[in-house]
Amino acid sequence: MKYLILSFLLFASGLIQAQVRFEAKVSREKLGINERLRVDFEMNEDGDNFQPPSFEGFTVVGGPNQKISTSILNGKMAYSKTYSFYLQPKKRGNLRIGQAEIIIDDKTYKTSPLTVEITAAVDKPTDGDSSEIIAEDNLHLVAEVSKANPYLNEALTVVYKLYVSPRVSVSNWRELDSPKYNDFWSQSIDIQQLRVENGEYRGEPYRYVVLRKTILYPQKTGELNIEPLTLSIAVDVPSERRDIFGSRIYKTVNKTVAADNKKINVKPLPDGKPANFTGAVGKFDFNVTASKNELNAGESLQAKVEVRGNGNLKLFDLPELTAPSSLEMYDPERSENVNTNLNGMQGSISESYTVVPTQKGKYPIPALSFSYFDPSSETYKTHTSEELLINVEKGPLAGNEPSGFSGANKQRLAIDGNQFRFIKLNTNLKDLDNESFLGSFLFWSALILPLAAIPLFILFGKKREQRANDVMGNRIRRADKLARKYLSEAKKHLGDQKEFYLALERSMHNYLKAKLSIQTGEMSKERISSLLAEKEVDSETNSDFISLLESCEYARYTPASSDTMQHDFEKAVRVISTLDKQL
């Protein structure tokens, strides 16, 4: 009987052990080097100390992802636990996936090694349901360049757009690397507020936002490279898990995306440049004006050389004004009134000369010519100003002077003895001998006011010290400020039910991630409630927080009024503020 019982136990033990299954599976046995491979390690009994293989020859782009399922079929319970990895091959050839290990009931089990064949890159990569692959397939950073073949110094724009598929959403982003724009003169256009718009990407509906706009003026000819913009983006990707209402639970994935390098071919300006051409490219008007044409010797006037229009206004020189030697002319003052938008630089630049005649007579300021290249007509154009005639009515007569013209800062100013006549010699000064500052009202005010201010400074210092020592008050103020910081995005969408409750739920999750160091995938209401209870948060605050999360979920299926949204927002401010004080 003893031997019979022992044999039965050994047979039953062997039968139980024979039922343990631990095996490795691959999503495919042959793939291109630009495709991804999913490897599943599946077991039918719960185990401990899972050890994956080294995955030599591959880069792990996702995982380990854990999946557990339990089902009952014909009265028997079936259990399954799977560890999944997503791999990117590093080279071509036959790559080996080694053995994985796990301990089940104090016994070590190993999978059989697998071999996959890696071929050359394929035109249309397939396979990929990992979070990283979903994020990559539904997130695109695009650089749009307005002109591929501009002329030298002709404006072109590069606009960076982030396209996001409706399947995923973006939590936040930051720049990892900004383009340097070598060989370009560049200026960024300020974007006041990011605005989400609907559009298409490769024929599919997408949402997009314009992240950056930049105006570029190429400074050399030939093929030039526009460097890519690189971003790190937090993407919320739907996982295979669902909440109690059947909605998918989202998982946050950090994804790095970069715009493509853009090549442009810069054409040189055509031959036939005018002699006075200084590099102006665009469409311009040119004029030379004087503030007045008649004055006396010793008085001054302003002569202004101005170019107005659309083009590379800051990248060329204005023609230099010349005048007869009897006109004293000083170095010009440059003025720029230029705005930059997607059409390039627009506005005006000018140089104002101060001119002072020293002798009586009529003096011409010769006409100036300004040349520029017009890209639309691909021709050079020249504008010529009119000659200015300056009539000096009073002053010494001009003697035998050279008839030539002089440039700025090349004349001597003739002194006629009356150059200081603008100084008043007869004044109305009052004698102050009979008026004494000592003992006056101003004297006593200056003496008493500083003394009277001392109690105010003491009172202010005590109030400040009292506020600094108010630990509870400071904590309340900091908590309220923190709550409004997290809820600022939700406040922007008050009135838009869908966007408001999505932003409200996301802000509450972000707060918990920051305070409790948990991931989005762990944020079930039961898990949150238990964590808050462990942190000794009172039951009322705990209940209010959970009810807010439920309001966000209910809002997906039922309409909500503006009053309801305002009430939920104020409740969220109060709950997060209270929760922060307790945490």
Q: For the segment 356-380, what is each residue's pLDDT rounded down to a tens digit?
A: 998 888 999 999 999 999 999 999 9
**Which CATH number do you get for residue 538?**
1.20.120
Assigned domain for 424 exists? no
If asked whether residues 195 and 232 sit together in one domain, one would say yes
Q: Which of 192-196, 275-279, 304-308, 495-499 has the lowest mean pLDDT?
A: 495-499
Tell which residue, 44, 42, 33, has the closest CA to residue 87: 33
* 309 shares its domain with 262: no
Give the whole-angstrom CA distance, residue 275 versus residue 370: 10
139 and 116 in one domain? no
Look at 46-55, 222-231, 572-581 and tell me which has the smallest mean pLDDT. 572-581
Strand 294-295 and strand 323-324: pairing? Answer: unpaired
Residue type present at position 122 = V
Which two structure tokens, joined as six digits, stand for 438? 């000592």
How far, CA to CA in Å, does 468 sit from each of 53, 463, 473, 480?
Answer: 57, 9, 9, 17
Q: Looking at the domain assignment, is residue 464 inside a domain?
A: no
Residues 138 and 260 in one domain: yes
Mean pLDDT of the chain, nearest integer: 81
Tokens of 77: 């319970």
| Same domain? 401 vs 288 | yes
Is 420 within a domain?
no
When pLDDT is cut at 50, 70 and 90, the band that residue 45 belongs to is confident
The CATH number of residue 100's host domain is 2.60.40.740
Report the pLDDT value the prediction gives residue 400, as an integer from 0 to 100. Answer: 41
Confidence at residue 324, expressed as pLDDT on a 0 to 100 scale: 87
pTM tops 0.75, yes or no = no
- Tokens read off for 245: 């209402």
Does position 130 have pLDDT exceeding 70, yes or no? no
Residue 406's pLDDT band, with cuts at 50, 70 and 90, is very low
Predicted confidence at residue 501, as pLDDT, reads 81
In a domain, 448, yes or no: no
Asked whether residue 116 falls in the same domain as residue 157, the answer is no
Identify whether residues 237 and 312 lie together within a single domain.
no
Check pLDDT > 60 for residue 7.
yes
My answer on whether 108 and 140 are in the same domain is: no
3-state secondary structure 255-298: EEEECCCEEEEEECCCCCCCCCCCCCEEEEEEEEEECCCEECCC
pLDDT tens digit sequence for 218-227: 999 999 988 8
- Which residues fall within 8 angstroms of residue 364, CB to CB, at 6 or more apart? 324, 387, 388, 389, 390
| 47 and 75, same domain (yes or no) | yes
- Give the end of a domain, one of 98, 125, 152: 125
- What tens digit of pLDDT does each residue of 76-115 get? 777 788 888 888 888 889 999 999 999 888 888 999 999 9
More confident residue, 462 or 69: 462
Element (DSSP H or E) covering residue 166: none
Q: How far apart are CA 454 and CA 456, in angstroms?
A: 5
> The domain containing residue 539 runs over which residues?
472-582
pLDDT tens sequence across 139-188: 889 999 999 999 999 999 999 999 999 888 887 888 888 888 888 999 98
Domain count along the chain: 4
Distance of alpha carbon 162 from alpha carbon 143, whole angstroms: 9
State the average pLDDT over residues 414-431: 60
Backbone phi and psi for residue 220, each to the nearest 5 degrees, phi listed first:
-150, 160
pLDDT at residue number 409: 45
- Domain identity same for 177 and 222: yes
114 and 171 fall within a common domain: no
Does one domain contain both 159 and 246?
Answer: yes
Query: CA 156 to CA 141: how far, in whole Å?
Result: 19
Angle, alpha carbons 75-80-85 (nearest 5°):
165
pLDDT band at 404 (very low <50, low <70, confident <90, very high): very low
User: Does some domain include residue 463?
Assistant: no
Does residue 520 sit within a domain? yes
